[in-house]
Amino acid sequence: MAESIVRAHAEGAGFDGLVEWDSAGTGPWHEGDGADRRAIAVLTDHGYEQDHVARQFQPAWFAELDLVIALDSGHLRELRALAPTPRDAAKVRLLRDYDPDADPDAPGGLDVPDPYFGGTDGFEEVLEMIEAASGGLLDAVAEALDSTSVASATPGEERV
């Protein structure tokens, strides 16, 4: 869902051809499968397109990536543990770090919950969280595209 939503917002903001968006999971559980039918329904209801096929994140990808977005703190830890270098580990950020209204002290912190074992309402909630963070993420990407260095990037300064 995050890839579809952020990609659509990025296209609307004029990032076509400037930034590559992609998604992968931290494990092989659904590798080769399409998106969950509930995710597809919610995305479609909100005007988003999707053509997702699940795959597992590979540590070798860090060399080509400027930013890796995790949706929850567990995935953040897993992805940072996969990173071959400390610089690569620093590329991993939580999506909701980019939501100015997200409360890290609220129940669930900055995690986007996995709606898989619930109903459609959970997918709607996730969509809202992703949309809320998309603007801040795109602002950070725009700033990074304008900057000359990604090496010292902090939230609000990285390039995807």
Q: Which residues are catalytic?
A: 114
Long-range contacts of 83-86, Cβ-Cβ distance < 8 Å, separation of 24 or more: 83/59, 84/59
- CA 94 vs. chain centroid, Å, equals 8
Element (H or E) spanning 94, and its range?
Answer: strand 92-94
Q: How far apart are CA 157 and CA 139, in angstroms?
A: 9
Q: Tell me how far CA of residue 119 lies from CA of 1, 36, 113, in angstroms.
A: 15, 11, 13
Sign of CA dihedral 76, 46, 30, 138: negative
Tokens of 109: 């912190």
Contact between residue 44 and residue 4 where contact means Cβ atoms under 8 Å apart:
no
